[in-house]
Amino acid sequence: MRKDVIIIGRFEIPLRVYENSGPNLVCLNGVQQSMAMWHTFIRRFSDKYRIVLFDFPNQGKGKILSGPSVVSIDEQVDILREILNVAKVKGNTALCAASWGGVVALAYTAKFQPDVKRLVLASIGTRPNKRMIETIKKGSEIDEGNRDKMAETLLESFGQNLPERIKLKITTQFRTMSKENLRSFCEHGMFVMSTKELNNVVDLGSIKVRTILLHGEKDAIIDFDDVKFLAAAIPNSEIRIVKNAGHFLHLERESVLDVYDEIFSKEVAG
């Protein structure tokens, strides 16, 4: 494994590359998740694929060195482009993303399609549903010092299917989160509410890359009708429903990685 820390404009970004001669898989985290979310993923796939991980600013060890705490989508796209350059990602490349990471992957692909062969996007829709809006509003009303309550609100809303050890990690994450990361988390929630539609951010119809949309059957904050709407907007896309799984998919059950294995074998390695 190659470990590195790179400076991209006003950001400090940690990078991990699991070297392999196989096809490239570049993983994009969800909001306030870190490279750690891919631990079981690495264990399962690093012998077949060259895997690239990194943390966006205010995720894990990713830092903002100067300027505003808000990181725009354009900035996140620029970060991803530089990560691909530094990691020497070329040729057969798939972007594998979770939740908000999927939005960044779509925005990147709309701008730099020749760089990407496949998109595998989990737990993504085009608009915040009622449960997500309620959760964001509840979270914004909680006092900054009551970190446990923030974690509890999130877990009650859409983390019920997570194992207890993962729930404990999320609670600990909120307890130890820096003020900057916490502020970024809250600001992101307000941004999601204000965006309304993904099409306002990304020209979905321009994306010609083969796209697989993974949707947990029990996902409380992404409506299946919305996933179908997203699939209809992306010309070459397909939905895979993961039974008995919620928003966090492979973090809830490691067996969900069997679904990824099937997709990668057909779509990436094939």
Q: List pLDDT tens digits, range 5-42.
A: 999 999 999 999 999 988 999 999 998 789 999 999 99
Q: How far apart are CA 59 and CA 91, in angstroms?
A: 28
Q: Does 267 have pLDDT greater than 90?
A: no
Asked if 96 contacts 25 with a C-beta cutoff of 8 angstroms, the reply is: yes
Least confident interval from 2-6, 55-59, 182-186: 182-186
| DSSP 8-state assignment for residue 208 | -
Tell me the pLDDT band of 196, cut-offs 50, 70 and 90.
low
Q: Radius of gyration of the chain from Cα atoms? A: 17
With respect to residue 161, please indicate whether it lies within any of the assigned structural domains. no
With respect to residue 45, please indicate whether it lies within any of the assigned structural domains. yes
Total residues belonging to the chain: 270
Q: Does 210 have pLDDT greater than 90?
A: yes
Mean pLDDT for the chain overall:
92
With respect to residue 74, please indicate whether it lies within any of the assigned structural domains. yes
With respect to residue 54, please indicate whether it lies within any of the assigned structural domains. yes
Please give the C-alpha separations between residue 255 and each of 30, 70, 95, 195, 251, in angstroms, as whole numbers: 20, 36, 21, 34, 10
Which structure tokens are listed for 259? 């679904």
Instruction: Give the DSSP H/E element, type plus range, for residue 183.
Output: helix 179-195
Q: How far apart are CA 270 and CA 266, in angstroms?
A: 5
- pLDDT, residue 171, reads 92
- pLDDT, residue 185, reads 81
Tell me the pLDDT band of 177, cut-offs 50, 70 and 90.
confident
Asked if 124 contacts 97 with a C-beta cutoff of 8 angstroms, the reply is: yes
Asked if 257 contacts 40 with a C-beta cutoff of 8 angstroms, the reply is: yes
For residue 67, the SS3 value is coil
Which residues on neighbouring strands pair with residue 63, listed in sequence order? 12
Torsion, Cα 123 200 225 221, to 10 degrees, reads 40
Q: What percent of the chain has pLDDT over 70?
A: 98
Q: How far apart are CA 49 and CA 120, in angstroms?
A: 14
The CATH number assigned to the domain holding 29 equals 3.40.50.1820
With respect to residue 139, please indicate whether it lies within any of the assigned structural domains. no
Instruction: Give the DSSP H/E element, type plus range, for residue 44.
Output: helix 39-45
Task: Please choose, from the candidates 66, 2, 56, 48, the residue with its C-alpha nearest in 3D space to the C-alpha of residue 29.
Answer: 56
Q: How far apart are CA 170 and CA 165, in angstroms?
A: 9
Q: Does 191 have pLDDT greater than 80?
A: no
With respect to residue 259, please indicate whether it lies within any of the assigned structural domains. yes
| Boundaries of domain holding 63 | 2-126+198-268
Q: What percent of the chain has pLDDT over 90?
A: 76
Give me the sign of the Cα torsion angle 96, 100, 102, 108.
negative
- Burial class of residue 175 in the structure, from the number of CB atoms within 10 Å of its CB (0-12 exposed, 13-18 middle, 19+ buried): exposed
With respect to residue 162, please indicate whether it lies within any of the assigned structural domains. no
With respect to residue 93, please indicate whether it lies within any of the assigned structural domains. yes
Residue type, 166: I
Q: Does 90 have pLDDT greater than 90?
A: no
Q: How many domains does the chain have?
A: 1
